[in-house]
Structure 1
Amino acid sequence: MNEHPASSDRPLEGRPVLVTGATGGLGGRVARLLGEAGAPLTLVARDQRRLDDLTGVEGARRAVDLTTPEGPAEAVRAALEAHGSLAGVVHAAGVVAFGPVTDVDDDTVDELFLLNALAPLRLLRAAAPALRESAGAHGDAFLVTFSGVVAEHPQKGMAAYSASKAASWALAAAAGDELRRDRVRVLDVRPPHTETGLAEHPVAGEAPRLPAGKDPDDVAARVVRAVLDGDRDLPTSAF
């Protein structure tokens, strides 16, 4: 475990962070910035090959399917095995689907909710003991979720996706209140549409014509700044 004290230019020195969706357009950028801030990283994604090919960021790497009941706990174990403690979790893994809710089949609904809503709940449940311990030692620990603009403004043609993200937002709001006394922050992030490439790879349906999205580098920088500043909510209006 890295025990080097934090400095102003590396404020997360010795504070291990688990990042899911680390091969994604936003997760990879957030991971890189957290690493630059000194955090020892554990990088999780579903595809080991893509993890192995990931460049520009250092850290332990583990392929995990977070849609399974045991996947989130496996990801947390990987982080603890790699670094001995856990100061933060960033759940940047997610999937999207398009189409009227009457056309979305059960398999698609299951995948949306398993990854977008149940995975962060299971991650928090699995990570809570280590996060509490880290908060006791350092005064703060965190879990970051990405519910996105559709949690605030559900969209037609994206009803099932919007519902899965609204569930994530509700989890973050309630769990954040529950864990406040333990000094564990739950930070929900709701950026506008961002050019991560996610919309080009839906699990079902076809993306409608979307306006130009936010620069993912700018969004990632804003998220990491919120982590470092101790924020507990990052609404769409903050971007």
Structure 2
Amino acid sequence: MFEKLIDSFEKLCLQIIIEILLVPVTIFKLFQDTRRCYDLSVHEMEKEETERFRDYLSPIKLSVYTSVIVSVLLMDYSGEHSFISKIKGLSMVEKALFIFLMNNFTAVIFSVILLWYKKEKVNTVAFRTLLFSFIYTTVYTSTPFFILILSAMFLGQTVNVQSYLDHLSKLADSGAYESRDYIFFIVFVVFVVIGVIGLIKLFRALHHILKENFRYHPYVVWIFTLLFFLIQIYYAGGFI
């Protein structure tokens, strides 16, 4: 009995380690080709349930791991003048659930809209395919901010990026920069570059999803792509 328990725990730990390692792999693959947000979801949903998402992390698990990691960070490093303070009193599990639901809100709304247009029911493969595709697109907005927050935490001991920027502005007057301050400037430049690339990738990914599911004139598809893009950017900006 005890050996079976140990074996089960070993398999669980190994599975978690593998899935954590698949997080950067999945993000990298999605940044390589924006069409994978939809095409990968379609390809995986055609397989048997036990065979899905072996080489990549499923969008649900990707979002869950991201939410858990962020919630762990927020347990020890809480800013006073940011969104973080609004969920400061919640437990780690509550924060993770809250972040997961908020992060995927637009994915659910967009999926329901397209599902209504296609006259499909919610409990279908079509809904899960659309939902998975839109959840994957959140990678393009969350990844740059995630890199910036982690860098600010390690370099300035806070996830409140604004407070660290205020700290750097004060140093600018005295000129007393430290090596980690210069590193943060480099990270900030990288954040801006990845952020711009992410916005372009997000637009292209949304356009591909709509083009495959929205059978109207190309101009109409472009208009709805822009609408979905602006909604997701506005929502992500307010959340972050």
Please give the range of the TM-score, normalised by the shorter of the 2 chains. 0.3 to 0.5
Higher strand share: 1
The normalised TM-score by structure 1 is: 0.32
Bigger relative contact order (CA 8 A; separation at least 6): 2
Point out the structure with the larger helix share: 2
